[in-house]
Amino acid sequence: MKLASFIAALVFSATGAAFAADKHEHGHAHQPLHGGVVVEVKDMDYELVAKADGLQLYVRDHGKPVDVSQASAKLILLAGTDKQEVALSPAGDKLEAKGSFKVAAKTKVMALVTLAGKSSTVRFVLK
């Protein structure tokens, strides 16, 4: 099975609760700093800023920006029956892609983010 198909299958099988950010106290806030949607995975905050003409992913470790110069990410956007796959590349302090994207409210986004040779799966629901 292709990696993208496998990830898409995970997205479809996930419940709505799996897309919610973890709500617990541990000394740092999970607030968006760039107007996006924030999700925490393994003490790392991922903020996805999704606009029709660009996608940006910011990564923070305990509130501090992470060096993404050697990082990469692949996103799958699911809006109704539409599926779009996007690769993000380093762009300064974030990972980014420019183009045309369907980013309506309730769009589900699955991100496979690779930092320092380690991969994490992050799930977002756009507001």
pLDDT in tens, 40-88: 998 899 999 999 999 999 999 988 999 999 999 999 999 989 999 999 9
120 vs 21, higher pLDDT? 120
- pTM summary value: 0.77
Q: How far apart are CA 75 and CA 110, in angstroms?
A: 6
Q: How far apart are CA 58 and CA 126, in angstroms?
A: 15
| Cβ-count burial 93-126 (b if 16+ within 10 Å, e if not) | ebbbbeeebebeeebbbbbbbebeeeeeebbbbb
Class of domain 3-125: mainly beta
- Secondary structure (3-state) at 77: strand
Query: What residue ranges do the domains of the chain occupy?
Result: 3-125
